[in-house]
Amino acid sequence: MAYAIGIDVGGTTIKAAVTSSTGAICDTWQTLTPSSEQELISSLQTIVERFHQRLAAKEIKDGETTVTSLLQTVGFDVPGIVNEKTGIAEFSANLNWKDFPAKARLESRLGTPVAFGHDVRSGALAESFWGVKLPDFFYIAIGTGIASTLILDKRIVAAHPWAGEIGQIPVFPEYRGIEGALRPAVLHQPLPLEQICSAAGITRRAVELGLVSESDGSAGVYALADKLPNPIDANEFLKAQKAQSIIDTALTTLAHAVAHFLAGVGPIPVVLGGGLANRGQQLLDHFQAELKVALGIVPAPSVHLAQLGSWSQVQGAALRAFIAEEVL
């Protein structure tokens, strides 16, 4: 069995793990993401050193087995606009960097090879090998924003650093029923897709309408909409209608946005990940129904939930190391 270190840099937290070539997470570490590039590289070096210290002390376990060695290559991914060919993080609003030579900086500090990439692409890659286990699919991560990845033959297809940034596409929301939180003055204005369809976008519109609080999140919007089948008073019924309208608008708009791509490449399976995917089968059924409408006579693809959860991007980072050293 082979083992590798995978590191995922998020806007607020760095997650890292020792992962086996079967996808099992054997040891983990989390820390806050530093504010500067120099501090980030130092923090990543500290993480790698800690794993090697725990390895030497025989403290890393894979079930009953003690892990005794790690691949030399370290897997490492970041959010934003990422050029995986040059190893440069071209832009990240969350981390406030531009044209950051992330791969070269970390390799110089560690003295080892680094397999570098985009966080959502890494998560999708891990899903292909160890999660949904599909060789071909279109992956959509729906969280604070929206990003996507095309996986073909268990490999990432990304010909340009901006590949997958579908959350930034201007769209005209596909309204159903009550118009949700959008004010009449902007009903005919295009908005970035993620402002309508992301978990954060759904929450924001519900907060604007006074339906939920920020802390309730998109789960609170769904909980409110779930009251519709039950006998409730008129005020709660109206609030539940508005919540359902926000959800319908989000999924309808997303379906129409991706339908053109799916018609172009063919109806390959769609995998939904990110925080909103916690909704489960109800989300899948709803989104697939909207896709059928959006695609017309083109057959609607199957829709699946991502299986690996919040550590998928860490596992994907480690998977990049396995692929780089031809273990997988």
pLDDT per position as a tens digit, 288-326 = 999 999 999 999 999 999 999 999 999 999 999 999 999
Output the pLDDT for position 185: 43
Whole-number pLDDT of residue 314: 98
Measuring CA to CA, which residue among 32, 9, 8, 62 is closest to residue 318?
8
Kindly provide the b/e burial profile for residues 161-179, where b requires at least 16 CB atoms within 10 angstroms of the residue's own CB.
Answer: bebbbbbeeebebbebebb
Tell me the C-alpha distance between 77 and 70, whole Å. Answer: 18
Tens digits of residue pLDDT in 182-224: 444 445 678 899 999 999 999 999 999 899 999 999 999 999 9
Question: Residue 180: its pLDDT value, please?
Answer: 52
Residue 38 C-alpha from the chain's centroid: 26
Rounded to 5°, angle at Cα 124 from 26 and 174:
140
Q: How many CB atoms lie within 10 A of CB 133?
A: 10
List C-alpha distances in Å: 270 to 116, 187, 193.
25, 29, 18
pLDDT value at residue 46? 98
Q: Side chain identity at 50, as an amino acid letter?
A: R
Q: What is the mean pLDDT of the chain?
A: 92
Question: Is the separation of the CB atoms in 218 and 202 below 8 Å?
Answer: yes
Q: 29 with 17: CB under 8 angstroms?
A: yes
Residue predicted with more confidence, 56 or 239: 56
Contacts with 36 (C-beta within 8 Å, 6 or more apart), sequence order = none
Q: Is the CB of residue 173 less than 8 Å from the CB of residue 202?
A: no
According to DSSP, residue 6 is labeled E
Name the pairing type of β-strands 146-152 and 137-142.
Answer: antiparallel
DSSP 283-300: HHHHHHHHHHHHHTTSPP
- What digits encode the pLDDT tens for the residues 118-139? 999 999 999 999 999 999 999 9
pLDDT of 275 reads: 83
Domains observed in the chain: 3-131+309-324 (3.30.420.40), 138-305 (3.30.420.40)
